[in-house]
Amino acid sequence: MIMEKPSVLVVDDDEKSVATLKRTLRKDFKVYTALSAEEAEEILRFEYIQVLVCDHRMPKETGVSFLIRVKEQWPDVIRVLLSGYSSLEDTIRGVNEAGIYQYIEKPWQPEQLIHTLKNAVELFELQRENRLLSVELKVAPSALEKEVKQKKEQLKKTYGCDEIVRTQDGLLDKVIQRVCQISSFDFPVLITGESGTGKELFARAIHYNSPRSDGPFLAENCGALPDQLLESELFGYKKGAFTGAYMDHVGLFEQASGGTLFLDEVGEISQSFQVKLLRVLQEGEIRPLGHSKPRKVDVRIVAATNRNLEEEVKAGRFREDLFYRLVGYVVQLPSLHERKEDIPLLANAFLKHLCEQYARPFCGFTDEMIQCLMDYRWPGNIRELQNEIGRSFMMTPQGEPLRAEFCSPRVLRAAPEDMEMELEWVSGVNGSLKEKVAQIEEQIIREALIRLRWNKTKVAEELGLSRVGLRQKMERFGITENLSGEAVSEKAG
């Protein structure tokens, strides 16, 4: 079954911006484009649009005004505002009147934009499911209550510690044992680690394995919003508190009461906002903008950052008192390079999910493909590995295992770790020049053979060798191909 890509409509009067956005998004989305609000409305009338990305500054009207109209006529479409110029008043008006899902500042980052739009598509689908559930609620409330209970139990199972993919007794297994141990204690937790290591997954695991598991789990990316908007999102505000506040807004601290609030990228918040957050954590109460009296909140805080907050404290960029309020316990997530034993398990899990999604048989990986995945260092961690598996899956014919030739060039050309140590690429401390050149030569020949599917004639032509010369070098380096077409590359002797 061929799954159709989710649809996104990009509206911007700048043709270059539209072209750049389309080029960035077309791999993951079916992209429609419009240079004006009028063109966009015409597309909305005749096409099935799930997400609309609109620039704020346009010639005839602002993006916010246009999105207000979209909300009235096409309320199901998820609305995203893209701008580098919006004032706080415009932004608040967009959130209140236009129902904007996300405000993205320019210059946008491709990975963040794609991630935001994928989440928007999920929200679109959830809205559609919610409408169906609302109908069922009117017809059979008891059946829906049972279904909600079943979904809660499914969430607990999905985000249980046992469901996190890892090797038994491996590096991550020790981290998970600690997480299971601390989840039942109602203390704040700080999750640290590189980008892409799965910090939100562990935050959910802490929540769904805690006594608060029946309460809500809400998340906010603190690095994605300016101070004023972050304050209104977390603490809420009263109608009339400022221009554009046309109705009361309940902040995430109140919405998450009885549950867990996940503050992602907490190391990015400004020092002025750190003071406000500290007061909430100290007093256990918030005061929404425009309200004269504080309100008590009962929330467990799980925060995350890819910064070294201790160093940030020493440098004076992060308040020490706030740091100690967040650090009830620290969960340090290892990078994927540090837990290489988990790479085959993760790769298989990602591939099985894709096979289920696209109704394909699971055929696994060639040994050569697994070796390439093991040799690469994965600076983007699990997120990068997931994208790599998806890329190779798209290029692999149905019914065949994923092969190394479909890897990205950066993965295909990665040297094994022991080879990197022998070569000492940067420092050049160990080994003679002859030994280093031999190692580089072996890696180049191996990469070319895999990429050209072991066509020795093409490899010899590309490398400027004769077939006899190529064969001699392959024998010297112990590079062979087994009967199944997979590579065996070992040192001779």
Q: Which domains are assigned to the chain?
A: 7-127 (3.40.50.2300), 160-334 (3.40.50.300), 337-419 (1.10.8.60), 430-477 (1.10.10)
On the question of pLDDT at 155 being above 70, the answer is yes
Q: pLDDT at position 422, please?
A: 44
Could you read off the pLDDT of 210-225 as tens digits, one per residue? 999 988 999 999 988 8
Q: pLDDT at position 417, please?
A: 54
Q: Which residue has the higher pLDDT, 99 or 297?
A: 297
Q: pLDDT at position 487, please?
A: 46
The secondary structure of the chain, three-state, reads: CCCCCCEEEEECCCHHHHHHHHHHHCCCCEEEEECCHHHHHHHHHHCCCCEEEEECCCCCCCHHHHHHHHHHHCCCCEEEEEECCCCHHHHHHHHHHCCCCEEEECCCCHHHHHHHHHHHHHHHHHHHHHHHHHHHHHHCHHHHHHHHHHHHHHHHHHCCHHHCCCCCCCHHHHHHHHHHHHHCCCCCEEEECCCCCCHHHHHHHHHHCCCCCCCCEEEEEHHHCCHHHHHHHHHEECCCCCCCCCCCEECHHHHCCCCEEEEECHHHCCHHHHHHHHHHHHHCEECCECCCCCEECCCEEEEEECCCHHHHHHCCCCCHHHHHHHCCEEEECCCHHHHHHHHHHHHHHHHHHHHHHCCCCCCCECHHHHHHHHHCCCCCHHHHHHHHHHHHHHHCCCCCCECHHHCCHHHHCCCCHHHHHHHCCCCCCCCCHHHHHHHHHHHHHHHHHHHCCCCHHHHHHHHCCCHHHHHHHHHHHCEEECCCCCEEECCCC
Q: What is the mean pLDDT of residues 429-439?
A: 69
Lowest mean pLDDT among 377-391, 408-422, 435-449, 470-484: 408-422
Q: How confident is the model at residue 485 (pLDDT cuts 50, 70, 90)?
A: very low
Q: pLDDT at position 428, please?
A: 45
Q: pLDDT at position 86, please?
A: 54
